[in-house]
Amino acid sequence: MKLKNFSRNTIRIVSRIGGHVAIVLSGETRVLPPHMEDAGIRAGLVPLDDVQSEADHIAALEAEAKENAELAAKAEQTAAEERAHALDEAAKKAKASEAAKKAAATRAANKANEAQ
């Protein structure tokens, strides 16, 4: 596991098994063996895997939020297009209805003129 020393002090880690020693300077990143990881964390080193996974998690949440916003915008655009299409259809029907009424009135007037 990668561990980093964010403190200003040099940290000395001694393993309980085998007595291995690791010295981590200020700002240094080290890969410690598994049996020394707990001692390194207790000494003040920060595991970079956790920091990186948190950054990945935040990036995934931001990507998901962006995707949801895009889907919402697309749905809104589709709904607006459907409303516009429905209004156009209603206008066409009203125009056709008005034309049919005028044609019926014209026929009725022509029949009235012929009957005279």
| Residue scoring higher pLDDT (18 or 39) | 39
Residue 29 has pLDDT above 70, yes or no: yes
User: Checking phi first, is residue 19 left (phi over 0); if not, alpha (psi -120 to 50) or beta?
Assistant: left
Report the pLDDT value the prediction gives residue 89, as an integer from 0 to 100. Answer: 92
Report the pLDDT value the prediction gives residue 52, as an integer from 0 to 100. Answer: 64
Where along the chain do its domains lie?
Answer: 1-44, 49-116
d(CA 51, CA 65): 21
Residue 35 vs residues 15, 28, 32: alpha-carbon distances, Å: 7, 20, 8
**What is the per-residue pLDDT across 5-20, written as a single tens digit (0 to 9) for each?**
999 999 999 988 888 8
**What is the per-residue pLDDT across 63-93, written as a single tens digit (0 to 9) for each?**
999 999 999 999 999 999 999 999 999 999 8
Report the pLDDT value the prediction gives residue 113, as an integer from 0 to 100. Answer: 83
What confidence category does residue 51 fall into, taking pLDDT thresholds of 50, 70 and 90? low
CB 41 within 8 A of CB 64: no
